[in-house]
Amino acid sequence: MLTTDKNHPTFDLAAFLANAGLGRKIVELKPKETFFTQGDPADSVFYLQRGRAKLTVVSQNGKEATITLLSVGDFVGEESLAAIGGLRMATATAVNVCIALKIGRQEMVRVMHDEHAFADNFLKFLLARSMRTQADLVDQLFNSSEKRLARILLLMAEFGKPGDPETFIPPITQETLADMIGTTRSRVSFFMNRFRKLGFIDYNGRIQVHKSLLNVVLLDQLPHRNSQKPVIMAAEHADPR
């Protein structure tokens, strides 16, 4: 929306992203409902106001993979801004109850062109997502599956973001975690049990991530073989893939 200071209207970014208006509406999704499905026309962008979501792709042979998780403040569906209208390359699904602002393609193009505050905010998001994608690739290429799992859990708990971290992560299956880090469900179960024994996480219905798990990702501080703590395998033996 616009706020008017005499003859100089000022764009209110927070109000624009919080409210429905011309070319945009508020949508609410239940868990497992989709924002859009792979192959749908790419005609809108969503801004996540509340909840968590995931982005998945399905290969030609039917194998599904989760490629990223979405949280409050994320945009999804930015492929609709391509000069030539195309199809969705992935499926966006609500993990828990989600509220989002759906912005039509024409309105998105207009506000990107006319409002520098919005364009700056959106470009910062795209840069952050690009850096996250690059970090995911490096993680996949060089880190053990155990370290990749620790990183995903920390990202889901939102450690490192301003304010108090959300240490309880949204409901997620071990199959989904396995898809995201490129290993098997049994390996994820093995690592999760070990993280719990080491005091890095707790779970009883919901997974609670403790800040000490950062030691696995940042410092590689995993205990050596002894009688008190479970064995941490060497990276080259941690995951047969």
What confidence tens digit (pLDDT) does each residue in 87-129 have? 999 999 998 899 999 999 999 999 999 999 999 999 999 999 9
- Phi and psi, residue 42, nearest 5°: -90, 95
**Do the first three CATH levels of 2-138 and 144-238 match, i.e. the same topology?**
no
First-to-last alpha carbon distance for the chain, in angstroms, is 51
Q: What is the CATH number of domain 144-238?
A: 1.10.10.10
Q: What is the CATH number of domain 2-138?
A: 2.60.120.10
Distance, in Å, from the CA atom of 224 to the CA atom of 199, rounded to the nearest integer, reads 15
What was the pLDDT predicted at 220?
A: 64
Mean pLDDT, rounded, for 116-144: 90
CB 187 within 8 A of CB 169: no
Lowest mean pLDDT, pick from 50-59, 118-127, 154-163, 164-173: 154-163
Distance, in Å, from the CA atom of 93 to the CA atom of 133, rounded to the nearest integer, reads 19
CB 23 within 8 A of CB 103: yes
Q: What is the pLDDT of residues 12-44, one digit of tens each?
A: 999 999 999 999 999 999 999 999 999 999 999
Domain ranges of the chain: 2-138, 144-238
